[in-house]
Structure 1
Amino acid sequence: MFASVDEDHIKCLIEEKDSKSTQRTIKRSVNLFRSFLTQKNINQEFESFLKDQLNENLRLFFVSIRSKSGDNLKVTSLQSIKYGLSKYLKETCKIDINDPEFSDCKKVFKAKVTDMKKKGYGSIVHKPPITQEDLRKLYNSDSVVFNINTPCGLQMKVWFDVMFYMCRGGRENLRYMTKSTFGVNTDSCGRQFVFQAVDEADKNHSVDGTPDDTIGEGRMYAQPGNVMCPVASFKKYLDKLHLKLDALWQRPLDSYLESNRVWYCRAAIGKNTLGTMMSAISKLGNLSNMYTNHSIRATAVTALDDAGIEARHIMRASGHKSEASIRSYACRLSDPKKREMSDCLSGVLGSRDDQKENENVALEDITMEELDAIFNDSTFSEVPTNQEKSVESPQPLNLLNLNSVPTNVSSMGINVYPSLNNCVVHFNFVPPK
């Protein structure tokens, strides 16, 4: 049996073999190069150029390109434009700009990138992981954002859970998820978990991938007894979806009753709304940063690395194709570590905060009256010695009643009664302000 196909169908398959982002990159790169040629009064149909003519124009193009505001582009933007042109020329004109005939173009491009890095245009802005404080705000049982008793709150929590436990990032394929994309199963220990049941193609796993490639083997296990259990939330969300729509992410109803069977419309959420979901959560939760969807993946990978999970295992959950990608997350400094390092350096310089200065007040700077005020109500339990084991409940002693301190001082220091043996005692004196 064979299906009937026409040329339009074949053409559509060829056009859709690349991801949407790759197609946008190619289109933008080609349009920019045509605009450059038009401005130079050169025929913009560069597909008919000879290699030496194409080499010369590409060389000038890479040097002269600027942003709309007239500033230099970021290095990553320039590399993206080169990638788009290279892919277009290779597929359309069978020309590879990495061939020896384009050596001048390659030299100029490399020199341009070096110059841009020297001027500060080579930095890469990584998506920050979500801080522990912000995560606690979201997963607090009283959280308004992740309120599982409302359609919006339940959906946002389930969406975040799926993104976090499956180590997903960005907006890729979110719009095409269905009720069967994820499944619920039970392992050999009797614990329920959510897993990705349907494979998908993404930018890291295309048609050229090997059979062993995976988009992710992460699991989201149940937490019995926890009101924020991710599996319980997921099952509740599936039960509340509209029966006649297969999309996983459906629009919440404007009005509802908690006892209603359906909480969502027969309409799917748009890709732009899904693509900015974490930003909406950040705003609603009044978080410390305006996070993006990719921040969730950065948080998950960083947490797994901090916990000592091997990079090769993280790759199987996150879908990364190289350990270098994992290390790019692991090498970043968290906010607590940055604070710790700064405080450490401040300590070396002697510039400490008020609290640490107060903790280091010398004993001789405190008057006897202040010491009496500090320890007036303090009592210490006497630890019985081997000879005193018959004593069941030792009476508390005021060891630091300064009025009872003997005046005799030997070469070993002040003799305080009763004596303390084999002890280390630390006192932090904070004078009253």
Structure 2
Amino acid sequence: MVSPGISMEEDGMDFALSQALDIIEAEESLNELSLTQTVELYEVEPADFGEFSMLQEFDAIIPDDIQENKRFASPVEEEEIDNIKKSYESKNTRKNTNWSVSTFQEWRKNRIQITEASMPELTLTTNETEMNDIMTRFVLESRRKDGAQYPPRSLYQLCVGVLRYLRENGNSLNFLDEKNLNFQGFRRALSAKMSELTAQGVGVIKRQAEPLSEKDEKILWEKNILGNSSSKSLLNSVFFYNCKLFGLRSVDEHRNLSIDQFELHDDGNERPYIIFKGRISKTYKGGLNQRNISPKIIKHMFCDDELYNVYKEYVCLILSLDSDPTAPFYRRALDGRKFSKQCIGVNRLSTMMKSMCQEGGLEGNCTNHSGKRTCATALYQAGIEEQEIMARTGQRSIESVRQYKRASDEIVMEVSNVLEPKRIKIKSEEATSTISASASPDPPPSMDTDVPGPIFTHCTFNFGGF
């Protein structure tokens, strides 16, 4: 049916346009096409739409003053462009870049003083042969401030940070490109140095956050560190289970959480559940390269009503302070069961898990990363498929999620039992009696024994004739 005020021709045009859009959205190969290829592939002939221009007709409806003030943003300055480029850059990435460049500059200064030979600035080095020589010497001569060798992984990260700095400053040389034979010498030197360090045991043991076991989690509940006994335990609970249930890890993921990202449902027809709607994370930035990836949306059905009530009570208390659903999720805990309007600071958020574990007397390296590792480890030990684990943790590759898995003590014991040799075990009582018998042997029978049998005296036996 044609809507009032719209001609048949215009209505047909909308229908044709919607058909074209449906085809585009349904085409699986569109993701691999460039914008120009997409336009050329789905270009619609002008005759299909006549001389109608949708944008022109729409603009004609809007008053000129609104078009001028609302349609476009104010002209941006160069500083604003730089700020928006850096706004979603990982802080760890920026930290790695600064550390790498600082290390390189100190090495360069030290080498010039020792050799009294000139060396060009890093960004001004455009010759591949010269860059190959500089980077080779850099990876072989670099040391930590205390004079110790860098671990292999740190040595590689130094090179990655230097390469990132070159790209940021318009230098297109890529000494990590395996296809570029001009940098083959550098890559061989780097690989050989990393192998040498590994053989020496440098950086072999990697310090990682430990997951919490069921026993550890039970201890935190028993000591009221988790639960709803106070505002502090409520805060600890939602923080810990945001990590375990939804795979949150970094401080930024927690700091940027808002109340409207959590939807609690309890209609009485099924188990209560919560829907978490993720946004920006370490593995999802929503940029150009991730336009075909969606943020994770997780539905968790509660088997434990107590945990559901913890979330429900916390959200209700926060909403009583601030009815804005976009307000920050974490607030400072006060005495009793009250919260402050003030948000929790970054420093406090970064040590939440560590503080809980220390208060509970738990051993091991416990950090905020422990919550996400607990999530992956618990699912792995329960036999959940890797695809489902990735949906919770947010990992984009199977290799990365496997790094989070930890075998339980039961699994380790089972593997150990399978590999150990199978031997006949001797009971301790039998062993004791055997040792006693050998230590105190019965005296040999007397020659005057009454046992029947032949008796030989002063005889010589020779068996060599057989």
TM-score (structure 2 length as normaliser): 0.67
Q: Secondary structure at the match of 1:234?
A: helix
Aligned-residue offset at 1:85: 1.1
Indicate the SS of the match to 2:273: strand
The residue aligned with 1:233 is 310
Tell me how far 1:209 sits from its aligned partner.
Answer: 4.3
Cα distance 1:73–1:161, how it changes in 2: closer, same or farther (>3 A)? same
Q: Which amino acid aligns with 1:326?
A: V
1:14 CA drift (Å): 1.6
Q: TM-score, normalised by structure 1?
A: 0.72
Decide whether aligned partners of structure 1 residues 153 and 188 sit closer, same or farther in structure 2, where only a CA change above 3 A counts.
closer
Change (3 A) 1:350 1:334: farther
Shift of 1:306: 2.1
Q: Which residue identity is paired with 2:186?
A: C
1:216/1:197 Cα in 2 relative to 1: closer, same or farther (>3 Å)? closer
Give aligned pairs, total. 347
Deviations 1:76-102, CA, capped at 9 Å, x for gaps: 211221111111212322222224332
Cα distance, 1:349–1:132 mapped onto 2, change above 3 Å? farther
Distance 1:39 1:209 in 2: 40
- For the pair 1:335 / 2:402, whether they are aligned, the reply is no
The one of 319, 326, 330 equivalent to 1:249 is 330
User: Partner of 1:20 in structure 2?
Assistant: 91
TM-superposed deviation, 1:30: 1.0
Task: Read off the aligned partner of 1:289 and give its amino acid letter.
Answer: G
Match of 1:34 in 2: 105
Report the CA distance between 1:303 and its aligned residue. 1.6
Distance across 2 between alignment mates of 1:96 and 1:284: 49
Q: Distance in 2 between matches of 1:72 and 1:324?
A: 28
Give the residue type in structure 1 aligned to 2:173.
Answer: I
- In the other structure, the counterpart of 1:48 is 124
- 1:130 corresponds in structure 2 to 212
Letter in 2 for 1:118: A
Tell me if the contact between 1:200 and 1:215 (Cα under 8 Å) persists in the aligned partners. Answer: yes
How much has 1:160 moved relative to structure 2? 0.6
- 1:323 & 1:252 partners in 2: Cα distance? 38
Task: Please state how far the C-alpha of 1:329 moved relative to its aligned partner.
Answer: 3.4
Aligned-partner SS, 1:180: helix
User: 1:113 aligns to what?
Assistant: 194
> Structure 1 residue 26: deviation in Å?
0.9
SS of residue in 1 equivalent to 2:402: helix
Q: Secondary structure at the match of 1:326?
A: helix
Q: Is the 8 A contact 1:29 1:82 kept in 2?
A: yes
Closer/same/farther in 2, CA of residues 58 and 148 from structure 1, 3 Å limit: same
Please, which runs of 5 or more residues in structure 2 have no aligned partner?
1-70, 113-117, 434-466
Q: What whole-Å deviation, never above 9, does each CA across 1:14-41 have from its counterpart, x for those lacking one?
A: 2224211111111111111111111112
Residue of structure 2 equivalent to 1:413 = none
Q: Is the 8 A contact 2:249 2:368 kept in 1?
A: yes
Q: CA deviation at 1:295?
A: 1.7
Question: SS at 2:192's partner residue?
Answer: helix
- Greater helix share, structure number: 2
Q: Say yes or no: does 1:66 pair with 2:136.
A: no
Q: Which structure 1 segments of 5+ residues have no match?
A: 366-433
Percent identity of paired positions between Structure 1 and Structure 2: 22
State the match for 1:162 in structure 2: 242
Q: Secondary structure at the match of 2:275?
A: strand
Q: Which residue of 58, 61, 78 maps to 2:155?
A: 78
Contact 1:38-1:44 within 8 A present in 2 as well: no
Residue aligning to 2:82: 11
Determine whether 1:299 maps to 2:379.
Answer: no
25-34 or 83-92: which moved more? 83-92
Within 1, Cα distance between the matches of 2:294 and 2:425?
52
Q: 1:361 Cα deviation (Å)?
A: 5.1
Shift of 1:186: 5.5
Are the structure 2 counterparts of residues 150 and 348 from structure 1 closer, same or farther at C-alpha, using a change threshold of 3 Å?
same
Letter of the 1:240 counterpart: L
- Aligned mates of 1:264, 1:349 — CA distance in 2: 63
The 3-state SS of whatever aligns with 1:106 is helix
Give the 3-state SS of the residue equivalent to 2:209 in structure 1: coil
**Separation (CA, whole Å) in 1 of partners of 2:164 and 2:359:** 41
SS of the residue corresponding to residue 194 of structure 1 reads: strand
Q: Report the Cα distance in structure 1 between the residues aligned to 2:348 and 2:309, rounded to whole angstroms.
A: 25
Once residues 136 and 72 of structure 1 are traced to their aligned partners in structure 2, the CA distance between those partners, rounded to angstroms, is 42
Q: How far does residue 349 in structure 1 lie from its aligned partner after superposition?
A: 7.2
Structure whose CA Rg is larger:
2
SS in 1 for 2:259: coil
Kindly report which structure 2 residues correspond to 1:191-340, keeping only aligned pairs within 5 A, or say none: 191-205=271-285, 207-223=287-303, 226=305, 228-229=306-307, 231-241=308-318, 242-243=321-322, 246-253=327-334, 256-258=335-337, 263-330=338-405, 332-339=406-413
Q: Is the 8 A contact 2:108 2:119 kept in 1?
A: yes
Which residue does 1:429 correspond to in 2? none
The CA deviation at 1:115 is 0.9
How far, CA to CA, are the matches of 1:278 and 1:350 in structure 2? 48
Equivalent pair of 1:247/1:268 in contact (CA under 8 Å): yes
- Structure 2 residue matching 1:83: 3-state secondary structure: helix
Contact 1:167 1:218 in 2 (8 A): no
The CA deviation string for residues 111-140 of structure 1, in whole angstroms up to 9 with x for no partner, is 111111111124233332212221111233
Q: Is the 8 A contact 2:139 2:190 kept in 1?
A: yes
CA contact (8 A) 1:35 1:44 kept: no
